[in-house]
Amino acid sequence: MTSELTFTRVTPADRETLEGLVRDYYAYDGHDYVEAEQGPALDLVCQGAANSLAWLIHGGGELAGYLILTTGFSVEYGGTDGFIDELHLVEAFRGRGLGAHVMDFAEKAGRQAGIRYLHLEVEIHNARARRLYDGRGYVDSERTLMSKRLVE
């Protein structure tokens, strides 16, 4: 089953496809897609921004989803750390055990990028994803992720 997924780095030509997937993901998770906010970020991702790695995921020749890793730096975590910023499989590919294959790929790509620790966040209501991450050794940091807008 895992061999049915392929990962292709996102290019500028994939911008429209990626946006469609992001919109699908946000609708699935109950978030608004705001063109003025996410649009410029997707432009940077598709142009290969230095702190992002992005792939389209295909299965059996069909578009299955996407993955975006971002990199940062943390003294606490010993240098370069990373974040699974977005991971989404479209409905037809959910519930088939493919999330583990995507995570294998994400972790391998992270190691190749020099990421020492890989972080992720999961929606409280997404018990299936939480089980996947727990089973792979991801632990609740017992911290709260807090955010503040700095640029309007």
pLDDT tens digit at each of 152 positions of the chain: 445 899 999 999 999 999 999 999 999 999 999 999 999 999 999 999 999 999 999 999 999 999 999 999 999 999 999 999 999 999 999 989 999 999 999 999 999 999 999 999 999 988 999 999 999 999 999 999 999 999 98
Angle, CA of 28, 147 and 131, to the nearest 5° = 45
The pTM of this model reads: 0.93
Radius of gyration of the chain (CA): 15
Q: Which residues contact 104 (CB under 8 A, 6 or more apart)?
A: 2
Q: What is the DSSP letter of 93?
A: G
Kindly state the tokens that stand for 55: 């792939």
**If you count DSSP H runs as helices and E runs as strands, how many of each does the chain have, helices first?**
4, 5
Domains defined for the chain, CATH in brackets: 2-135 (3.40.630.30)
